[in-house]
Each structure stands twice: as C-alpha cells, then as structure tokens.
Amino acid sequence: EQIQKGNYDHYMQKEIHEQPESLTTTMRGRLIHGGSKVKGVLLGGLKDHLRTIRRSRRILFIGCGTSYHAGLATRALVEELSGVPVTMELASDLLDRRGPVYREDTAIFVSQSGETADTLEALEYAKSCGALCVGVTNTVGSAIARGTHCGVHINAGCEIGVASTKAYTSQIAAMTMMALALGEDTLSSCSRREAIIDDLINLPDKVREVLKLDNDMKELAKELMEEQSLLVFGRGYNYATALEGALKVKEVALMHSEGILAGEMKHGPLALVDENLPIIVVATRDATCIKQQSVIQQLQARKGRLIVMCTKGDANLMCPNGSYRFIEVPQLQDCLQPIINIVPFQLLAYHLTVLRGFNVDQPRNLAKSVTIS
C-alpha cells in the first residue's frame, strides 16, 4: 500500500498533488491547437451525437455528491456555447419526483465510479423516457459507461480516497471540452472557445502553481481546527466551488461546513455572521466579482471573520479593509477557474483532517461508491 502512495501519507494527499498529471491525461489527444489547424476539441465518444445534443430541447446534468458539483461548475459554459438550457438534477431527487424527462432531452450522467445506484437508476428512468443518455465517467466498462448511448471518459486514473479530488477537476475539464465541442459550429463564439483552449493547455501548470499553497493551507487549518463550523460563499462559476469546498471539509474533516450561493446571503445566512464564525468568500475575477466585493463589504460591516479567496494581486482591490486571511490564486478563463479554486479547499480539508486526527482516506460512515439506494 505504501508503494502505491509513493511519497505521500494518504491517497487523498497523493491524488490532490497528482492533478497536474491527471488533468493532462484527461486532455491528451483531445485538444486541437498547434500549426495552422483551427483550434478545437476531439471527443471520439461524442462526435456522432453532437448534432442531436445541440438540437435537444434541454440538457439535464444528473449525478450525486461531487459529480453533481462538477456538472454545476460547467452548466453555464454548456448553456453559453450550446444555447441549450441546462437543468441540474440530483439523481435521488429526480427519482423521488419522477420528474418529466422527454425524448427531445439529452441526459448527461456524471459519475466517477460509474456505479452509483441512484445515478444508475436515474439512467434507466431517462432511457425509458426516450432521452439521449450520455455518460461522463472515470471507469471504462462501468455500468453507467455501458448503459449510456455515448459518452466521455475522463481518464483521471484510479481514485482511491473516498473524498473525490482529481476526478472532480478532470470531470470539469472533460465537460468543458464537451461544451467546446457543442459550440464548434458557432462562429460568434470562436474567439471565446480559442481562449478557453489556450487556458486548458495552461491548466496543468496553473494547478502546479496553486498546489504551492499547501503550506499556507496547513497554517490555515491549524487556525481553524477547533472550529465547529465553516461557511463558504460563492456565486457564478464558483457556486460549485462553495458547495464542493464545503463538502470536502464536511466529509473528511468532519466539521460542519456549508456552501452558500452568495446571492442568497441576505435571505438567511447573514443572520449567522459574527466575529467568530469563519467564512471563506470566493471572489476571484469574473463577471460576478463586483457583486462579491459588495458581499465582502456587507460581511465586514457585520464584523465577519473573513478569509477571502481572490485572484493573485487583487487582495487590496477586493477587500480594501483587509481580511483575516487571503488565499491568492492564479487566474484562468472564468469557466476554468473552479478547477483552480477547489485546490486550496482540498488541501485545507486534508490538513484539517490530519490535524483533527480523523481517517483521511476512509471517513466514517462513507463509501467510495454507493451501490445501494
């Protein structure tokens, strides 16, 4: 086992640090750039179905846990580049409601293991409704890979830690490529798509850069280890970061943690704010960061104990009155920023877990793959 972990103490730690490589594998052979060729993506498992997906009346992203969050992180880009509305479905909730699914829908099933019972049952349900079913999985030959009409393998490599880390970032990268493929017919989005492809190429290096925050996150973990609770505010592309960051802390460090859409702050969460409760605000540069600036001001006015995640060099701009702590991260195209922004949360959750003395790779009561519903 130690051989498999290499120089790391835990699988989760190893999997966090191998993300530059796992992302490279996810993209290998799929990006067309270089030379005189028009920039684009090649997803063999989808190419015969792109027209049908573009013409669907709606796309549904269906998954559980981290895989659901990966769908949420790419929702806006898929809508932007395909023009098709995307609805988010937690597999169990879709099944509980028997929500309407139509023949003209494309249902995209996101699952690391490809074996999660609820997601698999939702797949059977969507198939029976006549929808085109697409799989996004990490496991070749899994039930979801076999049961869908077409799909994309994320090729992140085997993930052992129960808390999903590298699969999450590879899911976002794979679904970003899917969005690019869906948009490839649209002339007006050409420069946007090229800019995203350029940043996909930069992505492994930027992840390497953000992994250097390891020590800073360990220090932050030391400061937070005795806390009862942690809130995470995000919006836009980084609403997913807030939910996934909070999930990491909750599932491995066994600390209550809640991801909150910053736009909902005034509708309840603001009542919790005082000088004790730690709050991480994700406020990296994108179309929503002016709004996040105002959220920060409102939290400061209530003496909130803020930790601000912002783009490198933006600390004073985003938070002129200072904050308890800053987490400064490198910048990429807005739609890829969730891949960068989740890394400090993964590191924080990891260090919190070690410091609090809990089992990192096998958190109590949880399973890597939930195969019964």
Binding site for ligand G6P (CB under 6 A): 64-67, 111-113, 116, 119, 162-164, 366, 368-370
Calpha distance 311→279 (Å, rounded) = 18
Residue 143 beta carbon to ligand G6P: minimum distance, rounded to whole angstroms: 10
Residue 321 beta carbon to ligand G6P: minimum distance, rounded to whole angstroms: 37
If the CB atoms of residues 106 and 170 are measured against ligand G6P, the closer one turns out to be 170
If the CB atoms of residues 92 and 229 are measured against ligand G6P, the closer one turns out to be 92
If the CB atoms of residues 247 and 299 are measured against ligand G6P, the closer one turns out to be 247
Residue 365 beta carbon to ligand G6P: minimum distance, rounded to whole angstroms: 10
If the CB atoms of residues 213 and 243 are measured against ligand G6P, the closer one turns out to be 243
Residue 348 beta carbon to ligand G6P: minimum distance, rounded to whole angstroms: 17
Nearest of 324, 311, 343 to residue 220 by alpha carbon: 324
Nearest of 342, 343, 338, 340 to residue 74 by alpha carbon: 338
Instruction: State the pairing for strand pair 58-63/86-90.
Output: parallel
Cα-based torsion angle of the residue sequence 233, 238, 242, 245 in order, rounded to the nearest 10 degrees: -140
Nearest of 288, 298, 291 to residue 279 by alpha carbon: 298
Instruction: State the pairing for strand pair 132-137/58-63.
Output: unpaired
Q: Which residue is nearest to ligand G6P (CB)?
A: 65
Name residue, tokens 């992505």: 203
Residue 356 beta carbon to ligand G6P: minimum distance, rounded to whole angstroms: 19
Residue 305 beta carbon to ligand G6P: minimum distance, rounded to whole angstroms: 29
Strand (E) or helix (H) holding 275: none
Calpha distance 45→111 (Å, rounded) = 16
Residue 289 beta carbon to ligand G6P: minimum distance, rounded to whole angstroms: 28
The full DSSP string for 272-335 is G-SSSSEEEEE--SSTTHHHHHHHHHHHHHTT-EEEEEEETT-HHHH-TT--SEEEEE----GG
Can you say whether residue 359 is alpha, beta or left, with left for phi > 0 and alpha for psi between -120 and 50 degrees?
Answer: beta
Q: What type of residue is 328?
A: E
If the CB atoms of residues 3 and 372 are measured against ligand G6P, the closer one turns out to be 372
Please count the other Cβ atoms lying within 10 Å of the Cβ belonging to residue 270: 15
If the CB atoms of residues 106 and 116 are measured against ligand G6P, the closer one turns out to be 116
If the CB atoms of residues 71 and 304 are measured against ligand G6P, the closer one turns out to be 71
Residue 84 beta carbon to ligand G6P: minimum distance, rounded to whole angstroms: 23
Calpha distance 38→32 (Å, rounded) = 7
Calpha distance 112→144 (Å, rounded) = 10
If the CB atoms of residues 40 and 161 are measured against ligand G6P, the closer one turns out to be 161
